[in-house]
Amino acid sequence: MRPRLRARFYRDVAVSETPDGFAILLDGRPVRTPARKVLAAPSRRLAEAIAAEWDAQRETIDPAQMPLTRLANAIIDGVAATPGPVADEVEKFLGSDLLFYRAEGPEGLVARQARHWDPVLDWAREMLGARFVLTQGVIHARQPDAAIKAAAQAIPREMSSAREIWRLGALNAVTSLTGSALLALALAAGRLTEDAAWGAAHVDEDWNMQTWGRDEIALTRRAARFAEMQAAALVLAELR
């Protein structure tokens, strides 16, 4: 059952520059995160995008329709307090990334995986100096420590500014949504568009639907996750 939604209690939504960043104001008062911190973004464009989500609410406030606000709350309340563990979590994916595990067949799926995934691995090798090992099936393939270390250098760890904290939070979100730190890093670097990264993350699922038919429940869940992907991609593009 869905939780009871709170009625919209404000008339005006605005953005104001504050010591915390660009804060979202409701009738002149700053919005607070669940941990009671000021909801503020490191750029005006991001703050305006968050404000637009609040302004789009009508009779009630539906957090499910506010993916950028949810991401901002997670970054401000969670990532900012524990950036090291968050960066470590992204790095863990480099040891068992989605892109390493290839199908043995059919030929069409093998070709589709190669078409979507090989360019990202080529980019990781050429731009990050990371040479990873591919395998067929789902048996774990240990990746070279040198490859993981090289790719991990692209994960933000110098948390000297809110911009870096937000970049890390968005990178972590994309990694979790796609199952691939490499797709997230390529998106963050501008090597992939959000649509290309999302398509690459769902090669196997799309193949199965093409073969066995559409799964409307899965597609509905996927659409909700894509809204979260778009929110994270906006953060990465703005702070690149």
Strands (E), the chain: 6-7, 13-18, 21-26, 29-30, 40-41, 60-61, 101-102, 135-136
pLDDT given for residue 2 in this prediction = 65
Do residues 202 and 234 both lie within one domain? yes
pLDDT given for residue 1 in this prediction = 57
**Residue 232: CATH number of its domain:** 1.10.3580.10
Compute the distance between CA of residue 58 and CA of residue 6 in angstroms, rounded to an integer: 11
Residue 72 included in any domain: no
Do residues 53 and 88 both lie within one domain? no
Do residues 55 and 139 both lie within one domain? no
Query: Which of 188, 196, 166 shows the shortest CA–CA distance to 240?
Result: 188
Do residues 30 and 122 both lie within one domain? no
Residue 68 included in any domain: no
Do residues 129 and 33 both lie within one domain? no
**Residue 48: CATH number of its domain:** 3.30.2180.10
Residue 193 included in any domain: yes
- Segments forming the whole domain that contains residue 233: 83-238
Do residues 95 and 194 both lie within one domain? yes
pLDDT given for residue 145 in this prediction = 97
> What is the pLDDT tens value at each position of the chain, 240 positions in all?
567 899 999 999 999 999 989 999 999 999 999 999 999 999 999 999 999 999 999 999 999 999 999 999 999 999 999 999 999 999 999 999 999 999 999 999 999 999 999 999 999 999 999 999 999 988 888 999 999 999 999 999 888 899 999 999 999 999 999 999 999 999 999 999 999 999 999 999 999 999 888 888 889 999 999 999 999 999 999 999
Residue 69 included in any domain: no
Residue 134 included in any domain: yes
The DSSP secondary-structure symbol of 106 reads -
Tokens of 74: 């997670």
Compute the distance between CA of residue 141 and CA of residue 143 in angstroms, rounded to an integer: 6
Residue 126 included in any domain: yes
Compute the distance between CA of residue 120 and CA of residue 123 in angstroms, rounded to an integer: 5
Residue 40 included in any domain: yes
| Tally of structural domains, the chain | 2
A 10 A CB-CB count for 39 gives: 25
Residue 99 included in any domain: yes
Do residues 157 and 229 both lie within one domain? yes
On whether the CB atoms of residues 38 and 77 are closer than 8 A, the answer is no
Do residues 112 and 216 both lie within one domain? yes
Q: Which of 35, 63, 91 is the last residue of a domain?
A: 63
Do residues 112 and 217 both lie within one domain? yes
Do residues 204 and 93 both lie within one domain? yes
Do residues 180 and 137 both lie within one domain? yes
Tokens of 152: 């991990």
